[in-house]
Structure 1
């Protein structure tokens, strides 16, 4: 880092004409120093990340340090404000310096911006060798991308309400990385973090210490806006959820996890690494408890088996065989990208071994690949199922109840999702969640019409309206693709959970319109 500093001074010497106001409160001990360079979310000014006030409470294993550097004028990036993030500093086991950009640099500008920030840290007293890069929201994406080719100058990356960009794997990332958000985050959805936490769990099966190198933390009751403070942009307010903990308590949690992660990443004998690991271990356990219900329901349709267990249940509702001990229900998933348009699902059938076969095409909102503000669960399940009439003929028994409609099955998806949701999520939904209304099925007369049809999901400020499309034929003819089928566009139980946990709780009047 000394080489970096020297190069920075040579390149940027002409730009360092600033009026500085510096206040330094030195430690009474000789703890090691570390620095954070912080990238704000777009449209959130850097000063929004300065805590509201000093906190009097002290933690048992950290001391209070304060360094306040304020830049007032200069060229393009001279608007960087090198300030304390007071609670991160207060609750750190390190003598910590923090540099916060006023505005979010682009990825192309980051090399110069980072060098300038580090130069100012050095100019005003920073003598450490540990530097971390942090970012909030889309600022975290900039930090993560910059970190992929700057690992030689970074000790780690902090992703606040953010995550690694698509295609990046936790266990392949070149530096330690902390992913941390709240379960009431309306912009970086908890359903997005579920995917990342499951990736961490898979990594830990091979290396249990990954929970310290790439921890994924979800804090209960915290939203997106609590990583900053004050008046935030309308876009944030429009999509974020109402927090259940104070800004002060949220900042305590963020600061504690930040400190523990940095101590763990540095692995310095002068700091309490054992205590840091214990804190991250507890964070992992808490996150596992929070996300387990979501992960369990997600697995009904997204799993390594490539089986839609929910469609299997739907097929059982369609057939409604009162004694099904001699019948096996089998499902397989088809290419979700084609979603029944270019590649048709294999037709359902009843084999000689009394296997009732169904197939499912899972369809996602393509926007979710680019932004976590959109639902991460399937838009619909296109389920091709065997009609009850065909099963009656083959089994030769009258032990059947009335077959379910697509509307009935979608109502059952809600019942299942709500029962699997955490007690906290259930209470939130019952207290302030908007309801789901299930509309009558729209029946079509041909398979081609059904292939082009969608599950209609309409969001507004009164609730979610769900309308299924059904294709039902009892005839057996030479065209096997339309022989004895009962096909539905189905609501994924995981989409229902996403509504219960997130969208039903939004204060927004501009809910996401028809999703498909």
Structure 2
């Protein structure tokens, strides 16, 4: 009896949720001719559907065909959810037909932010009803490949989005870039585009909910300009999918090239810590040794990806080959836990634990080399990391950071007494109102000829250049009281 009553209550709740849904149809402009298409728009979390009317009107005006725009309204608690979304789409399609939309014409479904995540899930399971999906400030979550998605999908975001980070969109773009290498048409079927100067909230209008207001970044463009950029790519995507268009493909090509230019610096610096080799630790080791003749040193930086227990028992090594010292370093890169593929917090490494050798150890192996002063600290290496990130950033990112970014402050190294304590103590990262404060963890063991292989150690918990770069691009731009 109890389960029966629960079923009735749930059924009534579901009925109430579904019956409360409304849609608003924006008919095509009377001056537009040509084929009909429809775009349904699902809102972001805690944003009313009506907030997307200014964008919908701009898209309708920009497209060179008859576009019907339907705003999906009144989701329970203003959050798009799977239970209601399917019914909202059905109601929107029926409303279109009632208003005179030609049955069988292409229908596209767009969603913003969390609404985009829900739209991506819906499109995957109900693709027969749709000609394509548009993800505004959203993306296909991990485990869902662009090439496997059943209908064409546009991923569209701004480079000043404080919630859907550019560093996450970069991963999706790299996936597309690999797809394009074997299939050029992927650029048009699953485009991934980043718009310069646009933030998260500029897909909608009006006052943003607290979560967006707290995390989003100040934009460089007005809402009107943002709507125009969004509309241009939206219309080109829809036009090309509905009927292949050379002009639309030209716009998407331009967007692809712009996105590559925006993301390439980030991808280049991220690559310093990938594929099992820590190139940054290699550079740091050379900096510590300070051999004046750079041909007298080679470093191979091995990254123990997630092998924390194995890492504990590894020691860096030094040998002499052809009058040069050859050093092998080991590093452990720690990434943030992100099981749900959410991008509010940084995606770059929390730290690089680098096991390196001291200059003293190198001098024992190669006594005839010419060395520098030998007083390098972990803090010095972190300063290099910031410089590496800044110099590799785009001109626009550097200018933004210099003018209004919260800076990075390096505190003195925290020295520990054992390698066990060093491995157990994490790099200090503190995001304050004035900027990011960083303090490295350092363990240094003097060289002992009797225990040569286990002495002359120089261990640092380092700031990843990619973390510094993500700070420059994203977190430094966020206003924080």
- TM-score above 0.5, yes or no: yes
* Distance 1:308-1:24 versus aligned 2 partners, 3 A rule: closer
Residue matched to 1:146? 122
Deviations 1:138-174 (A, max 9, x none): 1111111111112221111100011001111111111
Residue matched to 2:53? 50
Q: Aligned ranges for residues 345-356 of structure 1 at < 5 Å?
A: 346-353=314-321, 354-356=325-327
Residue matched to 2:336? 365
**TM-score normalised by the chain length of structure 2:** 0.90
Residue matched to 1:415? 387
**TM-score normalised by the chain length of structure 1:** 0.84
Asked if the contact 1:334–1:345 (Cα under 8 Å) also holds between the matched residues in 2, the reply is: no
Count the aligned residue pairs: 456
Asked if the contact 2:335–2:349 (Cα under 8 Å) also holds between the matched residues in 1, the reply is: yes
Asked if the contact 2:23–2:72 (Cα under 8 Å) also holds between the matched residues in 1, the reply is: no
Does 2:414 align with 1:439? Answer: no
Residue matched to 2:479? 507
Deviations 1:38-97 (A, max 9, x none): 211111111111118xxxxxxxxxxxxxxxxxxxxxxxxxxxxxxxx1111111133111
For residues 395 and 150 of structure 1, what CA distance do their matches in structure 2 show?
67
CA-CA distance at 1:22 after TM superposition: 7.6
Does 2:222 align with 1:246? Answer: yes
For residues 371 and 22 of structure 1, what CA distance do their matches in structure 2 show?
32
CA-CA distance at 1:16 after TM superposition: 8.7
Structure 1 stretches of 5 or more lacking a match?
A: 1-11, 53-84, 510-516
Asked if the contact 1:49–1:228 (Cα under 8 Å) also holds between the matched residues in 2, the reply is: yes
The structure in which a higher percent of residues are helix is: 2
For residues 88 and 458 of structure 2, what CA distance do their matches in structure 1 show?
60
Q: Aligned ranges for residues 46-445 of structure 1 at < 5 Å?
A: 46-51=49-54, 85-102=56-73, 103=75, 104-128=79-103, 129-267=105-243, 273-302=245-274, 304=275, 306-336=276-306, 338=307, 340=308, 343-344=311-312, 346-353=314-321, 354-367=325-338, 370-397=341-368, 399-401=370-372, 402-445=374-417
For residues 452 and 363 of structure 2, what CA distance do their matches in structure 1 show?
18
Asked if the contact 1:368–1:376 (Cα under 8 Å) also holds between the matched residues in 2, the reply is: no
Residue matched to 2:8? none
CA-CA distance at 1:481 after TM superposition: 7.9
For residues 172 and 132 of structure 2, what CA distance do their matches in structure 1 show?
18
Does 2:41 align with 1:38? Answer: yes
For residues 473 and 204 of structure 2, what CA distance do their matches in structure 1 show?
22
Residue matched to 1:450? 422
CA-CA distance at 1:136 after TM superposition: 0.4
* Distance 1:20-1:471 versus aligned 2 partners, 3 A rule: closer
Does 2:466 align with 1:484? Answer: no
* Distance 1:112-1:386 versus aligned 2 partners, 3 A rule: same
For residues 482 and 466 of structure 1, what CA distance do their matches in structure 2 show?
29
* Distance 1:199-1:22 versus aligned 2 partners, 3 A rule: closer
* Distance 1:463-1:368 versus aligned 2 partners, 3 A rule: farther
RMSD: 2.3
User: What secondary structure, in the 3-state scheme, does the structure 2 residue paired with 1:127 have?
Assistant: coil
Residue matched to 1:496? 468
For residues 21 and 177 of structure 1, what CA distance do their matches in structure 2 show?
24
For residues 462 and 413 of structure 1, what CA distance do their matches in structure 2 show?
20
Deviations 1:366-409 (A, max 9, x none): 14853111111111111111222111111112521124210000
For residues 115 and 21 of structure 2, what CA distance do their matches in structure 1 show?
25
For residues 218 and 264 of structure 2, what CA distance do their matches in structure 1 show?
22
User: What secondary structure, in the 3-state scheme, does the structure 2 residue paired with 1:141 have?
Assistant: helix
CA-CA distance at 1:200 after TM superposition: 1.0
Asked if the contact 1:105–1:113 (Cα under 8 Å) also holds between the matched residues in 2, the reply is: no
